[in-house]
Structure 1
Amino acid sequence: MRASDADRDACAERLATALSEGRLDLTEYERRLDAAMRSVVLGDLRVLTADLPEPPPPAPVPDSSLTAVSRTALVSPWKDWVDEWRWWLGGAVIMTGIWGVTSIMGNDAMPFWPLVPLGIWAAILIAAAIWPDDNAGTRR
């Protein structure tokens, strides 16, 4: 049977795993990878990985009706939103630190300029929470 691109990619992934585990040296890996990319039939690919251990079977799916994927889908938007606010807080600390150092060095309190970029950034985060982009997770 003729090999597909997916078959060649799976073979390449298996070879890369063998390289990372130390089962193949770089020269042998490159030789086998080149042969895998040129393979036309599945038998050619099997020969390239015949001396390598079989990959572990996929982990079993839990019996719970709420799978990890659906759990992630429920938690992810809030986690992402909290992560964005953490970035905002980090930016606030850095900008306020710069403002404080420059004010001390100038012996005069400068206007609190971080208010402008932090205010705009916060407004964008709040707008994203009020009007979420429902297609954000489906784009490629």
Structure 2
Amino acid sequence: MDETADPGPPHVRPENMRAGDVDREQVLDRLRIAHAEGRLDLDEFDERITATLAARTYADLRALTVDLPGQPPAPPAATPPPPEPGPLQDLDALQERDLRGAVIGWAGASVVTIAIWAMSCIATASFVYPWWIWVAGPWGLVLLSSWVRDRRQ
């Protein structure tokens, strides 16, 4: 038997788990209600507030409210951490951001070319062939087909 093997983390009982600020706030709320209801006098209320702020574990907090009606703070249930985004989720977000940037670029270029065309029509006082269609049209069709392809997947 290997004596250097790591036995793993020691098992911690739920009541011995460390309490957090949210847990302390819940106990403080219960103590405020108990004081308002007349269950705690001012001195005992002050002592319990001080002890609540110094409490480290759920057992410490439970001892401060065990003689009060209502539910004591329960240790959190062991929940697995949320799954991290997988490669497909990252790829979807990246493609959406890239498509959004491409559409913004297309819209900007289209507005500029249409403005130049409109100014040339005004300057010559005649209708000029709408050449801007050859800039905005094919580029827009490529973006539209990319968007449709992404939506189908």
TM class by smaller structure: 0.3 to 0.5
TM-score using structure 2 length:
0.39
TM-score using structure 1 length:
0.42
Return the index of the structure with the highest Cα Rg: 2
